[in-house]
Amino acid sequence: MYNEYLNNEQENETENEVGEEQRDENDIGVVAVQNAPYNIHCLTVIGQIEGHYILPPQNKTTKYEHIIPALVAIEQDSTIEGLLIILNTVGGDVEAGLAIAELIAGMSKPTVSIVVGGGHSIGVPLAVSAKRSFIVPSATMTIHPVRMNGMLLGIPQTLSYFDRMQGRITTFVVNNSRIKSERFLELMMEKDELVMDVGSVVDGNTAVSEGLIDNLGGLSEAITCLYELIEDWKKEKESKESKEESKEESQKECENDVPHDNQPT
| 181 among known catalytic residues | no
Q: Which of 121, 129, 177, 200 is catalytic?
A: 121
Average pLDDT of the segment spanning 115-144: 96
Q: Read off the pLDDT band of 26 (50, 70, 90).
A: very low
| 120 among known catalytic residues | no
Q: How far apart, in whole angstroms, are the C-alpha atoms of residue 120 and residue 59?
A: 16
Question: Residue 231 carries which side chain, given as an amino acid letter?
Answer: E
Q: Is the pLDDT of residue 22 over 70?
A: no
Which pLDDT score, from 0 to 100, does residue 223 have?
Answer: 96
Mean pLDDT score of the chain: 85
Q: Is the pLDDT of residue 135 over 90?
A: yes
By 3-state DSSP, what share of the chain in percent is helix, strand and coil, each rounded to 5? 50, 20, 35
State the architecture of 25-236 in CATH terms: Alpha-Beta Complex (3.90)
To 10 degrees, the CA torsion angle through 215, 112, 178, 173? 130
Q: Which of 21-30, 96-105, 158-167 has the lowest mean pLDDT?
A: 21-30
Beta bridge partners of 174: none
Q: Is 62 helix (H, G, I), strand (E, B) or coil?
A: strand
Which pLDDT score, from 0 to 100, does residue 128 have?
Answer: 97
Q: Which of 120, 133, 144, 177 is catalytic?
A: 144
Q: Read off the pLDDT band of 25 (50, 70, 90).
A: very low
pLDDT digits (tens, 9 = 90+) for 173-201: 999 999 999 999 999 999 988 888 899 99
pLDDT digits (tens, 9 = 90+) for 73-89: 999 999 999 999 999 99
Helices 156-175 and 94-105 cross at an angle (nearest 10°) of 30
Query: 137 with 184: CB under 8 angstroms?
Result: no
pTM of the predicted model, to two decimals?
0.80
Which pLDDT score, from 0 to 100, does residue 265 have?
Answer: 47
pLDDT: is 26 or 259 the higher one?
259
pLDDT digits (tens, 9 = 90+) for 195-234: 888 999 999 999 999 999 999 999 999 999 999 999 999 9
